[in-house]
Amino acid sequence: MPGYVKARVRALAVLGIAVLVLAGQPASSQTSPQRRASEFTLGNGMQVVVIPDRRAPVITHVVWYRIGGADNIAGQSGLAHFLEHLMFKSTARLKTGELSNVVARLGGRDNAVTTHDATYYFQRLPKEHLKTAMTMEADRMRNLKLVNEEVATERQVVIQERRSVVDSKSLAILDELISAALYLNHSYRIPVIGWGPEIPKLSRELALEFYNRFYAPNNAILIVAGDVTEAEVKKLAQDVSNIDPASLWAQRATLLVVNPAAKTGDTKPADTGLSFKAPGK
């Protein structure tokens, strides 16, 4: 056997032995992906999730509430979204709009979103201001004033929002009609922003009842992502979590909008079809 052939055979033999050795190693010694996120629960029932990210000295602070547009009862569509707007109004410690002004002054940004299933509020700030974000969120979680004048003003804002993002856009109207037909017997058929005729009927009393029932620490999830550790978040969260845990939220029950004319009993698999216009002769 020529020398170069022998060398090649030896190289292949060594490679084969190495593969067998690696294959025989226990699974625990092999590299496995590490879980970045960690979580814990505060004494008041709030779940906390921490996602470290050291790429920049900033943090994103998000409070999620397990409540959304699908939880509005019949005749009160848009209430969850309406309360999201009101959460930026005055509290026991903050003036109307002060939370956003503080965040902007510290070099950050904030916003909020309501979906069918949840409502969340976030701030993105330099890491040294995490406690400020936590303190302001804790304040508006239980100390929102809901002054009549502010409620009336914000209701008009929501009415104008619907006119601009839905009523004036044919595709948005089509989307509402499709959802209403698709989710015939489910509350997903109701737009998160609310039906046009029902938004003007949303009152301070309805918003306050909704707020007291669902805006509590044990119905919320705090997510902090950025240049922090679990220990740092836990210490800060415990310092500002002195919210009375006695104000426990009522059991959440997603309300189905049942069509009384719908047939009950056994159902058959639904048919799927397409319809389209075609040119005639």
Task: Report the pLDDT value the prediction gives residue 280, as an integer from 0 to 100.
Answer: 54
Please choose, from the candidates 62, 201, 170, the residue with its C-alpha nearest in 3D space to the C-alpha of residue 125: 62
For residue 147, pLDDT over 50 is answered with yes
CA–CA gap between residue 173 and residue 196 (Å, rounded): 11
Q: Mean pLDDT over residues 160-188, rounded? A: 94
Report the percent of the chain where pLDDT is more than 90.
70
Domains of the chain as residue ranges with CATH: 33-240 (3.30.830.10)
At 227, is the pLDDT very low, low, confident or very high (cuts 50, 70, 90)? very high
For residue 261, pLDDT over 50 is answered with no
In one letter, which amino acid is 26?
Answer: P
Q: Which entry of 84, 137, 150, 154 is annotated as an active-site residue?
A: 84
For residue 99, pLDDT over 70 is answered with yes
Question: pLDDT (tens digit, 9 = 90+) per residue, 101-143?
Answer: 999 999 999 999 999 999 999 999 999 999 999 999 999 999 9
Residue 149 annotated among the catalytic residues of the structure: no
Eight-state DSSP code of residue 25: S
CA–CA gap between residue 228 and residue 226 (Å, rounded): 6
User: Rounded to 5, what percent of the chain is helix, strand, coil?
Assistant: 45, 15, 40
For residue 251, pLDDT over 90 is answered with no
3-state SS string over 232-274?
HHHHHHHHHCCCCCCCCCCCCCCCCCCCCCCCCCCCCCCCCCC
All residues at 6 or more sequence positions from 249 whose CB lies less than 8 Å from its CB, including other chains: 213, 214, 215, 216, 218, 219
For residue 20, pLDDT over 50 is answered with no
Which segment of 32-36, 151-155, 218-222 scores lowest on mean pLDDT? 32-36
137-156 burial code (b ≥16 CB/10 A, e <16): bbbbbbebbbeeebbeebbe
Q: Copy the structure tokens of residue 155.
A: 């209701």
For residue 32, pLDDT over 60 is answered with no
Q: What is the largest distance, in Å, between two alpha-carbon atoms of the chain? A: 97
Task: Report the pLDDT value the prediction gives residue 16, as an integer from 0 to 100.
Answer: 52
Task: Report the pLDDT value the prediction gives residue 36, as an integer from 0 to 100.
Answer: 84
At 8, is the pLDDT very low, low, confident or very high (cuts 50, 70, 90)? low
Consecutive H or E run containing 8: helix 3-23
3-state SS string over 151-220?
HHHHHHHHHHHHHHHHHCCHHHHHHHHHHHHHCCCCHHHCCCCCCCCCHHHCCHHHHHHHHHHHCCHHHE
